[in-house]
Structure 1
Amino acid sequence: MRLWPLAASGLVLALVWLGPLVERAGGSFAAHMVMHMGVVALAAPLLAIGLSRALPSLAETISPAVAIAASFAEFAVVWGWHAPGPHDAARTDMGIFALEQLSFLLAGTLVWLAAFGPSGEGRLKARAAGVVGLLLTSMHMTLLGALLLLSPRTLYACADLCSPAATMTPLGDQQAGGVIMLIVGGAAYLAGGLVCLASILNDPTPRRTP
């Protein structure tokens, strides 16, 4: 029962990657963003919790430097794949799309795993660095979502080449995707960071006295 997050993560990924969203994402930026948020805001934290329970030694290998590096890696992954060229390629090529989705999952899981790592003397610094990573990710996802929402024009060639949602214009479809990232991505990482920060502040582990 302690490993239920692993099963829940697998279920989320199955719904995201094997359900109707895959076909829908080819023609809708908003649907593509729903897949992105499903991977990084739902599947990744569940996978991180499950791994920290199943393999506690794995989380113990994450140092503060690794935790901060993971947050910068996720920044590069998220912003890199939302640049026009890579994003259009992922929308039109299934191999590149699979690479995009896998990189989202790996980067997101590492950031969440650092924050959810085991407590105990000597580990709080690494977890604190993981919390910083979650909060930084919340900030840059909020910023990217706002840019997508407030852009006066479509940023991607696929907005015109692909068929957007029938009830939306290409620009409206992009703006809807921006709202999804701003609300879901920003809120999920902010909430996760605050919860992990509270657990660190309330950690009962005794500290060494000099």
Structure 2
Amino acid sequence: MIAPAFTRALAQLPDPAFRSVLVKSLLVSATVFVLLAIGLWAGLLVVPETGYGWLDWVIGALSSLGLLIGMMLLFPALMTAAISLFLDDIAAAVEARYYPTDAPGRPVATAPALWAALRFLGIVLVVNIVLLPLYAILLFFPPLLYGLSLLVNGYLVGREYFEAVAFRYQPRREADLLRRRRRGDVWLCGVLIVLLLTIPLVNFLVPIVATAFMVHVYKRLRATG
């Protein structure tokens, strides 16, 4: 299910209907990346010096590592929230190409979409703040840290993408029931999206592909129950 859906999403990337959305997505991705980097870097500048060369070096190295980890943790969530503003355009293009005989989804109003994006960001920040002590311990075990980040943020991002798409086609209660029944599939899709969002340069194109990908995933999950 996942491979065919992802292949279809990639194949539509050159579609003329995606061009304007692609440009907007790239601009949003670049803006989010720069603002996130500036914000995290500004936080590092307030770290005081101890006066001990070796200790300052250790603190600097850990701070730089923390900057990279912070970007790895927050960039997927910020991009997921930002791209939700263009979800209707992407979903409509997928529907027109692959599902012309299906009933089109209902466009989501801007205000509810914005509120949902802010709510999602809040949840991601709270969850990752709660996990900060564990992240700090796992700094010394980078593969475990990366794996935990993928699992946690994969669940959150997968759920957000799925709900954003599903609410176009079903009442919220029915969409929630479908997500719970197929939570493993949705989680795995989220892990794939987060994995791609942490790859430099590739991550600028991922949000639009991920949205199209989730439309295909939703269609397949709803068809199979």
In terms of fraction of residues, the more helix-rich structure is 2
**TM-score normalized with structure 2 length:** 0.30
Max Rg structure? 2
**TM-score normalized with structure 1 length:** 0.32
Q: Relative contact order (C-alpha < 8 Å, sep 6+): which is higher?
A: 2
